[in-house]
Structure formats: C-alpha cells, structure tokens
Amino acid sequence: MPVGTRGTVRTQTLGQLEALGAPMLLANTFHLLQRPGAEVLERMGGLHRWMGWRGAILTDSGGFQLFSLAHAHTLGEDGATFQEVADGPRVVLTPERSIAMQRAIGSDVMMVLDHCVPATASHGEAEAAMALTHRWARRSLAARGDSPQQVFAIVQGARYPALRRASADALTAIDGFDGFAIGGLAVGEARAEREDLTELTAALLPADRPRYLMGVGTPLDILEAVHRGVDMFDCILPTAWAQHGRAFTAAGKVDLRQGRHRLVDEPLDPSCPCQACARHSRSYLHHLVKCQEPLGWQLLAEHNLRFYVRLMAELRTAIRNDTFAALLAARRQTLAQVAA
C-alpha cells in the first residue's frame, strides 16, 4: 500500500497512482484528525470522494504515534493526549475517537487503536502495552457499531516470543475482526529478530483472513515476510528514499547522489517502463538530485513505487504458479545488493 498519510502520496498525482495499479492506499487517522478534521471529511463525503481516489483505503489508527511521538503524549487507560509543543493544540485519541474519525474518513479497513513500544522496551513494559492494546481492541470493535467497514486487530508483544503468542491467542479469540496485523516491528530490532517474530506471529493467525505487517519495509523485507505468510504491507520508503536520491532497481539499490553517476548516459533500470527510466539518463537524474529539484523526487518516487508494485505482482504470480521457492532464492540475492 503506498502511504498517503494526509490523503496524498507525496509527489504523486492520482493519475500516476492509478497507472501503478496499487489497489489500496494507507492514510493516517491521527494526522487527518489534526487537519482537516472530522467535520470536513464528513461534509465532503469521506476521503475517497474528497481526494478523488477510486481504490480502497486503509487507515492506521494513530497508534504508531504513541511510539513516534512518545515525548509528546501522556497515556492512560482511556487513551492518549498529545501536545507536541507547550502552547500548542492538544489532541485526545481514544479507541472510540479513533474509530469515529476512521468512520468519518470512510476507509475500507479501520485499525484498532494500539500501544506500540520500542524494541528496547522491558518485558514488563511490553506486557503492559500488549494488555492495554487488547482492552483497546475490544473497545475499538464495539465502536464500529453498524459500519460496514472492516476492522483489523493488531498483535503486539515487542521482541518477546511468549508475549507475541499470548497476544495472537487473545485477539483471535475475540469474534468480529476481519483481519490481523503484526505491529511493533521495525522499531529498533535487528532484521533477523524481526523475521523470526514475523514467522512466529503469522503462523498463529487465521489463514482465512488477511495478515498485515505494519510499516515494513524494504523490498527484501517484503520478500522475506511473504515467505513467512504475510499478505499486506505499507512503508514510506519508496517516496522517502526517493527524496534523498535513492532508488530500487532490478540490479539492486542505487544512490544517485554519488558522483559516479554524473557522466553515465544510461537508464536507471533498463527493465522499468517508468518516466525516470524510459526518458532520462542516470546523469540527468543525478543532476536533479544534487540540485534538489522537486522533479527528481517525483520521478524517483514514481519509479520506486512502480518497483514495489511490480515486485508484489511477481510474488503473487509465483505463489499461484507454485514457483515461489525458486523466486525467493533468486530475488534474495539481487534485492540485498547495491548496484554498481
């Protein structure tokens, strides 16, 4: 899912996103609650109509901000109160308010409010956050009411396998969730540990409902997670890395900030049909990146998003054709390397 935090995927028009073929975008409840707010979205008929997007939308609940804005909130049983600067506005986020905002957004998939803690959290801290997440999950499900929108629960437990098992068991025992997410990863743990926890957790979740690994990750991360049973992903890397001149290609990662590209009159990736590759040389893209021209960010973001969408299509085809094992062995090598 391309990440459209505030109702837009940075640098990309709707036409570009539709041409990509990505069926679903991710938007963030916390940020849309701050601006434009529920009233605007309710009056405008929801986010799909307001932004003009015909595909599906999944909304994060705002739970990740409990991690990313840990310095700016106070936490209690009812929810969290955010205040990023001393004299700034306060934002109160409870399970009920998060779901109410997601109903106003009109997303196809709503996420329960959860408590995400860093990988360095102690066992006691992780267990308390997990238990709070379970209580909030029940409240979030109840707050859905008669809405036809789907609701996904979020497994927490930090880096502790026993807590991951306990969280998966507790949430799958609650009737009514349409899918399950694996949260609290890519927050400081090592890659091998993340892969082990993903494999452990995915195996505990129902096979007949989607499994969503939140906020992960690089193309190699996605390949390894699909291998471990995950269905859905979101990550800001395609557009965030593009802003800094980095691109994913069939031959590996490319950093266009490096001077070795200055005189290279070749495409970024000959196998890619995007505008960056079909019309421009690495030399020109290097120039745009070094000059910090917005066009460079736009072109590389489109390229990176296309790379991700094509990779996902490739993985789906391999699964259907029962050739995933061979694809895994081949792609592990190229996705991990840096292109010359």
DSSP for 293-317, written as a single string:
-HHHHHHHHHHHHHHHHHHHHHHHH
DSSP conformation class of 24: E
Enumerate the CATH 3.20.20.105 domain ranges in the chain, comma separated.
14-235
Q: Print pLDDT tens along the chain (340 aa).
A: 999 999 999 999 999 999 999 999 999 999 999 999 999 999 999 999 999 999 999 999 999 999 999 989 999 999 999 998 888 789 999 999 999 999 999 999 999 999 999 999 999 999 999 999 999 999 999 999 999 999 999 999 999 999 999 999 999 999 999 999 999 999 999 999 999 999 999 999 999 999 999 999 999 999 999 999 999 999 999 999 999 999 999 999 999 999 999 999 999 999 999 999 999 999 999 999 999 999 999 999 999 999 999 999 999 999 999 999 999 999 998 998 887 5
**Secondary structure string (H, E, C) spanning 47-63:** HHHHHCCCCEEEEECCC
Residue 40 and residue 7: Cα distance in Å, rounded?
A: 13
Cα dihedral 245, 221, 224, 332, rounded to 10, equals 30
Enzyme catalytic residues: 60, 234
Q: How far apart are CA 288 and CA 257, in angstroms?
A: 9
**Separation of alpha carbons 207 and 221, rounded Å:** 21
Residues 6+ apart with CB under 8 A from 235: 3, 215, 216, 217, 218
Q: Which pTM does this prediction carry? A: 0.96
Distance of CA 248 to the CA centre of its chain: 17
User: Which amino acid appears at position 275 of this protein?
Assistant: Q
CB 62 within 8 A of CB 5: no
**294 burial class (0-12, 13-18, 19+ CB within 10 angstroms)?**
exposed
The number of beta carbons lying within 10 Å of the beta carbon of residue 169 is: 11
Give me the residues paired with residue 110 across strands: 59, 151
Sheet holding 109-111, edge to edge: 24-28, 56-60, 109-111, 150-155, 179-182, 211-213, 232-233
Q: Which fold has domain 14-235?
A: TIM Barrel (3.20.20)
Instruction: Respond yes or no on whether the N-terminal peptide bond of residue 45 is cis (omega within 30° of 0).
Output: no
To which H or E segment does residue 164 belong?
Answer: helix 161-172
